[in-house]
Amino acid sequence: NVKLQNYALVYEPAELADGVFVGPAAVLTNDYFPRSVDPDGKLKRGGDWEPVAVRVAEGASLGARSVCVAPVAVGRWALVAAGAVVTRDVPDFALVAGVPARRIGWVGRAGERLAEQAGRPGVWQCPRTGALHDEKDGVLTERR
C-alpha cells in the first residue's frame, strides 16, 4: 500500500511502512558521510561505506521534491511539505516545511492541518474527520 510517484529516488536500506506516499522527485538518501574518494584520494568502492536508512512510518507523506537526509525517521501520519529538506527526525502527525525542515503545525490521518480548539490548549481537531488529538511536550497523540 505504498505509493511512489514519478522520479522518486528511494535508496536502500530505506524502510517504507504501510500507506506511505512518496511524491514526485522526492529523494531518500543513504550515505551519512558522502564522499567519492577516501582521505588518501583513492576512489571509494561499494564496500568502503556503510549505508544508513531513512525510515518512513505508517501513513506518512513526503511531498514533491522533498529530501530526507539519512539517517532520519519520519513519524506516523506526518506530512513533509514539497521541497522540504529533512535532516532531523519528524514526530508523528507533524507538518514540516522548509530548508532545513521545521515543524509548522500538525496534521491528522486525513492529511489536513489540525486546528487547536479554542479555550482548550493542547487539544487539536481534524476539520475533516473531527478526530481529536492531545499535544504534550511537543508530542501529539490520537484520542481513541
Domain residue limits at 11: 3-37+46-109
Backbone phi, then psi, for 47, in 5-degree steps? -85, 0
Closest CA to 101 of 67, 76, 75, 73: 67
Whether residue 122 lies inside any domain: the answer is no
Residue 114 lies in a domain: no
2: its cell numbers: 505504498
Nearest to 140 by CA among 126, 122, 118: 122
- For residue 137, is it within any domain? no
Global pTM reads: 0.94
What's the CATH code of the domain at 14?
A: 2.160.10.10
* Beta strands at 15-16 and 132-136: parallel, antiparallel or unpaired: unpaired
State how many domains the chain has: 1
For the chain, 144 residues long, give each residue's pLDDT as a single digit of tens. 999 999 999 999 999 999 999 999 999 999 988 899 989 999 988 788 889 999 999 999 999 999 999 999 999 999 999 999 999 999 999 999 999 999 999 999 999 999 999 999 999 999 999 999 999 999 999 998
The answer to whether position 126 is within a domain reads no
- Residue 86 counted as domain residue: yes
Assigned domain for 100 exists? yes
